[in-house]
Amino acid sequence: MLPKAEEELMNYLWELEKAYLKDLIDSYPDPKPAATTVSTLLKRMQEKKFVGYESTGKSRAYFPLVSKETYFGKHIQGLIKNFFNDSPAQFASFFAQQTSLTEAQLEELKSMIDDQLNRKK
């Protein structure tokens, strides 16, 4: 998993899909980070194989190598393994009981689960 600062930058990159350093800096709220800070984060993320780039003259256009769905899917799998004894059922039970879901939201989740069950048949 990425540290918080890298994950924040990754969210901007997922949103933009492809971006130059200036575009990424502009995505941050004020006060914006220094260009050297964002460059350092991008370099680390390249080393970890989360970010790639294409050179255009002297500039680089950065793009994600990992989809948001894949990243957060692995994050959720880690939570289930580490905090719920590797039991998706315990996770689902905790989620349903400890969040303030409305009846309509619970029905929507039930419908999604039913759809997945029907696809597996």
Cis peptide leading into residue 31 (ω within 30°):
yes
Q: What is the pLDDT of residues 75-115, one digit of tens each?
A: 899 889 998 999 988 888 888 888 888 889 888 988 988 88
Residue 10: what pLDDT?
97
* Dihedral (Cα; 107, 68, 14, 45), 10-degree rounding: 150
> How far is the C-alpha of 35 from the C-alpha of 55, rounded, in Å?
18
End-to-end Cα, the chain, rounded Å:
34
Q: What is the pLDDT of residues 3-62, one digit of tens each?
A: 999 999 999 999 999 999 999 999 999 999 999 999 999 999 999 999 999 998 999 999
- CATH 1.10.10.10 correct for 4-64: yes
Contacts of residue 100, defined as CB under 8 A and 6 or more positions apart, other chains included, come to none
User: What is the model's pTM?
Assistant: 0.77
Residue 62: phi and psi, rounded to 5, are: -90, 150
Residue 54: what pLDDT?
96
Residue 75: what pLDDT?
87
Residue 88: what pLDDT?
86
